[in-house]
Amino acid sequence: MVETIRVSEEYHEWLRGHRRDDETMEETLRRMTRGPNPEAVAGILVENEADEAKEAVSDLQGRDRGRFDAARGAFESEGEDS
């Protein structure tokens, strides 16, 4: 499966500037972000373990979203008092 991500032109230029001659953009992005090589992690989890891991990540992201929203609300309400 291939996905497309949007990045700013500035970030794309920066990334392209760090790309090695023998790399694809994905390989460069993985190297620069220290992301895993798909071949290195393929097959580590069976399907139900992968589903559980995805659910755990989703739960954590949901908790973070709530904390971020609360923090944003606190800053916005603080600005209204001034």
Q: How confident is the model at residue 5 (pLDDT cuts 50, 70, 90)?
A: confident
Q: What percent of the chain has pLDDT over 90?
A: 23
pTM of the model: 0.43
Mean of pLDDT values over 56-69: 79
Q: What is the overall mean pLDDT for the chain? A: 84
Give me the residue spans of the domains in the chain: 1-42, 44-82
Instruction: Tell whether the model's pLDDT for residue 63 goes beyond 80.
Output: no
Pair 35, 29: CB distance under 8 Å: yes
How much is the pLDDT for 79?
A: 65
